[in-house]
């Protein structure tokens, strides 16, 4: 099992380019099940979750080919094509490793008339029920049952309907992706109310429209889908990863570094940048005008090349995670690490996954001053953190602990970085290129 050894105290300097979004790429890959023509995706990150989804799609009769660098191909280009429409089983052995596997449910049901999908797994960040997915599909006419841990869905042809996707902790991103993918081949009109507004949902809508779907309102709480009889192949570029961008911004800030970030989706990070500005961290454009494009009637996230600038004394703030366009829950652990070094008391409230605080105990081992009360953590800034062995509990907690290690005095060993490999492409290499003293080791060796 791999671990990161981080020797802290080095200021990060240099340039880093943000990769394609994992959270966008996974539903995009699942959408290849909606047609028997090829789907080509550019800017696909090389991650464990992407490999898992490709493996799952292969078992569902959908070939997935990534460019081979040895043959002059682009390793971030992937071509997918469904060649066998008979498989409908998404097996537990694959689905248990990754929650986004649930994204195959809608495409399988609407295209093949039947789906048998294991209840999903993933990171240990609290309860994430799929009841909204199932209620939405039932509203479209699906027959849903549970059988030995599997979701069994059947429908001769789905029919458009009005679906409400609001839940206890807000809208559901994967639920919106599933319902949108199912509705594109349904008969009639589907209206999704309280739809997720995340950029990843907009990106999926752009691909589906390029495939011939008719979708309006993606990026707003109401999405309208006019069903069509068939979809065709398409070529699509995955949006940059806003969570990876936010992580590197905070890595630069926590080390008081001087880092230029290319392909940074600033428009998708408005809430995070608002909080960081209050902390004393700002982004300065360093070249040209933003590269903003549009497709399928939707506005792409604005991407820029920016320099991270931060004051030497960080200010405390209040942070509340919320559905987009609010502060992302996937950046909560990272900003907590940063605020451990702020000058005063900060409050972080988690409203998406109230139990997503397993990293608190690990930060305490590094000298942080944290008090948790339910879904809120009081963060009292300290002069410095101290290196220690810590255990990653989930993908984003891993990133937060790495950031803490970059700023800490001494050596931090972050164990179980297989979590981190699910969402960051060779993070240790990118950080080492910025001057960090970080290495990957095999702790079983």
What one-character-per-residue DSSP string does 336-391 give? HHHHTTSSSEEEEEESS-TT--THHHHHHHTT-EEEEETTEEEEE--S--B--EEE
If phi over 0 gives left and psi between -120 and 50 gives alpha, with beta otherwise, what is residue 122?
A: left
397 Cβ contact list (under 8 Å, min separation 6): 333, 358, 359, 362, 419
Please, are residues 265 and 303 in contact by the beta-carbon 8 Å criterion? yes
Helix (H) or strand (E) holding 273: helix 270-279
- Kindly state the DSSP code that residue 269 receives in the 8-state scheme: G
Q: Compute how many other C-beta atoms are within 10 angstroms of the C-beta atom of residue 65.
A: 14
- Distance CA(238)–CA(131), nearest Å, equals 28
Instruction: Show the beta-strand stretches assigned E in 138-278.
Output: 143-147, 150-154, 162-164, 189-193, 214-216, 222-226, 234-237, 258-264
Q: How far apart are the first and last CA of the chain?
A: 9
Say whether 123 is catalytic: yes
Please identify which of the residues 88, 103, 123, 197 carries the catalytic annotation: 123
Please, are residues 153 and 198 in contact by the beta-carbon 8 Å criterion? no
* Closest residue by Cα to residue 193 from 169, 174, 167: 167
- Pairing mode of beta strands 389-391, 411-415: parallel
- Distance CA(35)–CA(82), nearest Å, equals 7
Burial 243-274, CB ≥16 within 10 A → b, else e: bbbbbbbbbbbbbbbbbbbbbbbbbbbebbbe
Q: What is the CA radius of gyration of the chain?
A: 21
Catalytic site residues?
123
């Amino acid at each position: 099992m791999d671990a990161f050894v981080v020797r802290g105290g080095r200021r990060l300097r240099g340039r880093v380019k943000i990769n394609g979004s994992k959270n966008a790429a996974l539903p995009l890959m699942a959408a290849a099940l909606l047609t028997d023509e090829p789907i080509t995706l550019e800017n696909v990150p090389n991650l464990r979750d992407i490999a898992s989804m490709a493996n799952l799609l292969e078992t569902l009769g959908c070939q997935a080919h990534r460019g081979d660098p040895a043959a002059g191909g682009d390793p971030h280009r992937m071509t997918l094509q469904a060649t066998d429409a008979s498989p409908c089983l998404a097996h537990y052995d694959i689905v248990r490793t990754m929650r986004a596997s649930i994204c195959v449910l809608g495409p399988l049901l609407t295209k093949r008339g039947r789906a048998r999908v294991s209840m999903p797994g993933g990171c240990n960040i609290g309860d994430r029920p799929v009841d909204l997915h199932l209620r939405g599909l039932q509203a479209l006419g699906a027959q849903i049952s549970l059988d030995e841990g599997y979701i069994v869905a059947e429908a001769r042809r789905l029919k458009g309907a009005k679906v409400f996707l609001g839940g206890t902790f807000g809208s559901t991103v994967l639920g919106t992706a599933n319902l949108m993918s199912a509705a594109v081949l349904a008969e009639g009109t589907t209206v999704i109310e309280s739809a997720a507004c995340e950029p990843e949902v907009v990106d999926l809508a752009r691909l589906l429209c390029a495939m011939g779907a008719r979708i309006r309102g993606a990026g707003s709480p109401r999405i309208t889908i006019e069903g069509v009889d068939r979809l065709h192949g398409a070529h699509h570029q995955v949006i940059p990863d806003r969570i990876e961008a936010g992580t590197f911004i905070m890595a630069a800030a926590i080390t008081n570094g001087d880092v230029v970030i290319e392909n940074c989706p600033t428009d998708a990070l408005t809430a995070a940048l608002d909080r960081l500005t209050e902390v004393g961290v700002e982004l300065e454009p360093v070249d040209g005008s933003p590269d903003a494009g549009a497709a399928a009637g939707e506005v792409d996230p604005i991407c820029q090349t920016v320099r991270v600038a931060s004051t030497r004394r960080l200010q405390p703030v209040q942070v509340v995670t919320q559905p987009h366009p609010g502060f992302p829950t996937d950046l909560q652990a990272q900003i907590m690490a940063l605020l451990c070094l702020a000058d005063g008391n900060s409050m972080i409230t988690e409203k998406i996954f109230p139990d997503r605080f397993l990293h608190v105990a690990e930060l305490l081992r590094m000298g942080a001053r944290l008090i948790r009360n339910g879904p809120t953590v009081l963060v009292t800034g300290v002069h410095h953190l101290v290196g220690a062995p810590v255990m990653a509990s989930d993908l984003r907690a891993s990133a937060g602990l790495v950031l803490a290690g970059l700023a800490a005095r001494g050596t931090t060993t972050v164990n179980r970085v297989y979590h981190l490999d699910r969402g960051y492409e060779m993070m240790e290499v990118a950080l080492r290129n910025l001057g960090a003293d970080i290495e990957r080791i095999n702790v079983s060796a």
